Structure 1
Amino acid sequence: MSKPERFDTLILGSGQGGKLLAWHLGRTGQRVAVVERQWVGGACPAVACLPSKNEIWSARVAHLAHHAADFGTITGAVRTDLAKVRQRKRDMVAREVAAHLHAYRSSGAELIMGTGRFVAPKTIDVALNDGGTRTLSGGRVVINVGSHAAIPDIAGLAHAQPLTHIEALELDAAPDHLIVLGGGYIGVEMAQALRRFGSRVSIVDHNPHLMHREDPDMAEAVQSVLRGEGIDLLLGAQTSKVAGRSGKEVRVTVRIDGKEQTVDGSHLLVATGRIPNTAGIGLEHTGVELDERGYVRVNERLQTGAPDIWAIGECAGSPHFTHVSVDDFRIVRDNMTGGERSTQDRLVPYCMFTDPPLAHVGLNEREARRLQIPVRVAKLPMNNVLRGEATDETLGFMKVLVNANDDRIVGFTMLGAESGEVMTAMQTAMLAQLPYPKLRDAVITHLTYAEGLGALLGNVPARA
């Protein structure tokens, strides 16, 4: 092994939290290196969050164009040019890459494109993408390697070469019939988008309802939206085998209520979960431990069991959201200089970008029961929100959970237009531990979707 190049901080992986840390430390004068094997900026701007929402927006435009006559605009025949949709997405990614490269240059942090593998506790060998190798060591090391799509062990599935979300976002023509394995957020988002681009779509999920972590009433509302757009749902379906090749002909065999049936399609998309990218990176040389699922074992400060080695984002078992990786960055940044920031008791929101979108923060009813937290529940249909009456966006409902013993809001879920923005108002009230009547009686602008919060909270039952 050649003599390592020495850095103050060495970061393996350029995902959201790691790159923010690199830029911050670089600006403070540290010598920082980030090793990234494929995507400048990590998956979020290249193949995940931004690209998927870019194409989902194109799908919404297609949907509105097909329904333009409902709003008084008469159009001719409407069709989708998926190659142009893809190019719009690629143009955005190119802008993101340029912005990231500028951030590296301006911060002084060095981006090294190559595949890194630990060969000693804080030393990494890098096989450079353009040839050659470099050996790097750091006074401190941060593991930020992310995760990848899981391919279940189903007979014939790997041979069928199924799409993941990455390949689905590179399609240049709408599949004749897309079969989606998995009813989580990625599967549901992509299913609706491809349906709006003109594909026939079937979702196969082994759970009794989609998004199985959500309350059944919310999941049923989403299922109603999808069925209303012509998407077939095969729920409680155990997939036993797959035949054929995605992109040509593919057959999926499932068992529902003890009866076997087959689904024939042209393309197969797998969206059944994620696996951390911790295998094969030499962690056995570091003293870093993995948990039983392969995630880096960290404490609440995001420190591993090895001195001066930290982990950030999905590979550390943090909730799989970019905004959580941003908070992981803040935690590591402050704790590297003696702070006491922690991952404990984070109020983590999330949003599924269907149309209408689903947003959630805090507890749902299922979680409240599991934790034995007594709650009061109130709901409000979106057709009772006047903004939706004006825009014809009346699908879905809001639901709030208020502690039964005091007036603190402990959970909120909304399926409805602009739900992510409305949810943030509720999250702010929860962070401030604001008694719900304060928000109920607030003067909220008319005509907005957030105006519905007043009516929703007005439905909260009185304390027993």
Structure 2
Amino acid sequence: MADPERFDALILGSGEGGKYLAWHLARSGRRTAVIERRLVGGACPNTNCLPSKNEIWSAKVADLARHARQFGTTTGPVAVDMVQVRQRKRDMVAGLVDLHLQLYKASGAELVMGQGCFVAPKTLEVRLNDGGSRVMAGDQVFINVGTHPAIPGIPGLEAALPLTNIEALELDELPDHLLVLGGGYVGLEFAQAYRRFGSRVTIIEHGPRLAGREDPDVADEVRRVLSDEGVDIVVSATVHRVQGRSGQAVGVVVETSQGTRTIEGSHILVATGRIPNTAGAGLDVAGVALNDHGFIQVNERLETSAPDVWAIGECAGSPQFTHVSFDDFRVIRDNLAGMNRSTRDRLVPYCMFTDPPLGRVGLSEAEAQRQGIAFRIAKLPMAFVLRTRTLDETKGFMKMLIAADSDRILGFAMVGPEAGEVMAVVQTAMLAGLPFTALRDAIIAHPTMAEGLGPLLSSVAPRPGNAR
């Protein structure tokens, strides 16, 4: 093995946390290199978060065009051009990649395109994409390799060449009938988008309901939204086998309480979870331990079992959101500077970008009950928020959990327009330790979605022995 090139910091993978760490370290005067096998900036700007929301918005426009008459606008027949939908997404991605390259250049961090594998502690051999190889060693190493879509071991599924979220965003044709395996966030977002583009869509979910991590009332509302738009939903379904080929003709043999049947479609999309990209990276050689599911074992400071080696983002078992990976960067950055920051007790918000979207932060009812936390609950239909009447978007509700023995906000969930923005208001109050009464009594601009927090919280039952 050739003598390695020496760096102050090596970062394997250019996802959210890794790239921000690279730019920070390089600007601080440290010789820093990032090894990225394919996607400059990671999955979020290339194949996941932003591209999917780009196409979801195209689907929203198609839906608005079809319903333009109810808003007083007359249009002709509406047709979707998937080539243009894809091109709009590609143009956005190209602009984001260019922006990332500019930021690398400005920071002084070196971006090395190739496949990195540990060949010794804190030492990587990189097979360069344009040929040749480099051996690189870092005083400190940060692993940010992310995850990839899981393909379950269902007979015939792999041979059917199914779509994942990556391939679904590259379709230049409209599926006649899209079969979606999985009723989680990714599956539901794509199901609604392709239904709005004009496809028939069937969701096949193994569990008893969609969005299985959510409270039953939230899951039921999401199901109602999708059903009203014509999405077929099959729950409590065991998939026995898949036959045919996605893009031509495909059949899924499922067993439910009504018996066994074959659901036929033109395309199949798999959205059943993700697997860490840790296999084949030589982590055993680096002394980096994995858990039973292949994720890197880290402590609350994101330190691995190997000295001077950290892991960031999804590969470290962090919640699978870009905003969490960014916070992982902040944890590592601050600890490198001598501070004491950890991942413990983070208040992690998240959104599902169906229409209307779901936003949630803090505890759900089910989580509070499992933890033995007593709570009061307030719930308000979105139709009671007057802003929804101006938009003709009255589906959904918002609800908040309040501690039974104090006025502390425990959690918030909303299915409704601009749910993520309203959720951020509640999250800010939670981070500040404000009682729910601060939001209840605030003067919030009219007519906005956040204005609904006032009537929502006016219905909270007083604590025993306390006046309102």
Q: Same fold (TM over 0.5)?
A: yes
Q: Which amino acid aligns with 2:37?
A: R
Give a deviation string over 1:216-266, Cα, whole Å, max 9, x none: 100000000000000000001011100000000000010001610110000
1:340 alignment partner AA: N
SS where residue 451 of structure 1 aligns? helix
Q: Equivalent residue of 2:158, what SS? A: coil
Aligned to 2:268: 268
Unaligned runs of 5+ in 1: none
Q: Deviations over 1:118-161 (max 9, x none)?
A: 00010000000000000000000000000000001101111111
CA distance in 2 between counterparts of 1:43 and 1:111 reads 16
Cross-structure match for 1:168: 168
Per the alignment, residue 347 of structure 1 pairs with 347
Q: 1:75 maps to which residue?
A: 75
Counterpart in 1 of 2:404? Answer: 404
Partner of 1:95: 95
SS class of match (1:14): coil
Shift of 1:459: 1.3
State the one-letter code of the partner of 1:127.
R
Deviation for aligned residue 1:337? 2.2
Q: Give the letter for the 1:319 counterpart.
A: P
Q: Match of 1:153, SS?
A: coil
For residues 450 and 46 of structure 2, the distance between their equivalents in structure 1, rounded to whole angstroms, comes to 32
Q: Output the amino acid matched with 1:312.
A: I
Q: What letter corresponds to residue 250 of structure 1 in structure 2?
A: V
Please report the TM-score for the alignment, with normalisation by the length of structure 1. 0.99
Give runs of aligned pairs for residues 203-352 of structure 1, distance below 5 A: 203-257=203-257, 259-352=259-352
Q: How does 1:63-212 map to 2 (within 5 A)?
A: 63-212=63-212
The question of 1:365 aligning with 2:365 is answered: yes
Give the counterpart letter for 1:267 in structure 2: H
TM-superposition CA deviations, 1:338-395 (whole Å, max 9, x none): 2210000000000000100000000000100111111111100000000001111100
State how far apart, in whole Å, the 1-side matches of 2:378 and 2:262 are.
41
Letter in 2 for 1:77: P
Q: CA deviation at 1:436?
A: 0.7
User: What is the aligned-residue identity percentage?
Assistant: 64
SS in 1 for 2:55: helix
CA distance in 2, matches of 1:202, 1:14: 35
Question: What is the DSSP-based 3-state SS (H/G/I as helix, E as strand, rest coil) of the residue aligned with 1:275?
Answer: strand
What SS is found at the alignment partner of 2:160? coil
Residues 269-298 of structure 1: CA deviation (Å, up to 9, x unaligned): 000001000111000111111011111000
SS at match of 2:70: helix
The AA in structure 2 aligned to 1:48 is: N
Give the aligned partner of residue 61 of structure 1: 61
Deviates more, 1:251-260 or 1:402-411: 251-260
Give CA-to-partner distance per residue, 1:428-453, whole Å, 9 cap, x none: 01111111111101000000000000
Partner of 1:456: 456
Counterpart in the other structure of 1:36: 36
The residue that corresponds to 1:5 in the other structure is 5
Q: 1:254 is paired with a residue of what secondary structure?
A: strand
Q: 1: CA distance between counterparts of 2:148 and 2:296?
A: 15
Would you say 1:433 and 2:433 are equivalent positions?
yes
> What is the rounded CA distance, in whole Å, between the counterparts of 2:369 and 2:174 in structure 1?
43
CA distance in 2, matches of 1:101, 1:442: 44
Q: Shift in Å at residue 163 of structure 1?
A: 0.2
TM-score by length of 2: 0.99
Secondary structure of the residue that 1:196 maps to in structure 2? helix
What is the alpha-carbon distance in structure 1 between the residues aligned to residue 237 and residue 462 of structure 2? 42
Take 2:434 and 2:124, find their aligned partners in 1: how far apart are those partners?
48
Equivalent in the alignment of 1:49: 49
Letter in 1 for 2:197: F
**How far has the Cα of 1:82 moved from its partner?**
0.7
Ranges in structure 2 where 5+ consecutive residues have no aligned partner:
none
Within 2, Cα distance between the matches of 1:360 and 1:438?
19
After the TM superposition, list the runs of 4 or more consecutive aligned residues in structure 1 that deviate by more than 6 angstroms: none
Q: Quote the RMSD (CA, aligned, Å).
A: 0.6
How many residues align? The count is: 464
- Between the aligned partners of 1:392 and 1:97, the Cα distance in structure 2 is 37
